Structure 1
Amino acid sequence: MATRKVTLSLDQTALMMAESAAAKAGISTSAWLSAAARREAVRLGAGTEWGNPAVDAAADDADLAAAEDDLRAAG
């Protein structure tokens, strides 16, 4: 999935929670925030006219599987 670099402001607690969740998932904070934003947008009904949700979900699953493989390999 293509990415674009942006600058965001987050409150300290939200950032700490995102960093913790990303670490537990074995992915970068940026990847975790991107997935979380996508999930929330879909939950609220936004974005239904963009992209292909099935393809995006498969890409998220592939990213998660790769992160889990990396964690296993790291011990």
Structure 2
Amino acid sequence: MSRLNHFSVYGVEEGGPNGVRLESVSIVGDPETIREIGAFLIKAAEEMSENGLEHLHLQDVVEGFDYEKNVDFIALNGLVVNF
């Protein structure tokens, strides 16, 4: 893997009101689900590059997204959004 540019990760505790910066992220899921999340991130990066989008939500691209069983991933364009 080549070097990464600066990035950060934020999250909201279940039922919590505010986001916090995270030191690490653990994704618990079967391999197919983790692949689909990876595919979403790749597609989100392509959309951001091509169209200058600010952000994309996983929940918006998954048919029948279940808020009780899943968490939303939000890809934010660091060239547009400052944290």
Higher helix share: 1
TM over 0.5, yes or no? Answer: no
Question: Which one has more relative contact order, counting CA pairs under 8 Å at least 6 apart?
Answer: 1
Q: TM tier, shorter chain?
A: 0.3 to 0.5
Higher strand share: 2
Question: TM-score, normalised to structure 2's length?
Answer: 0.32
Question: TM-score, normalised to structure 1's length?
Answer: 0.35
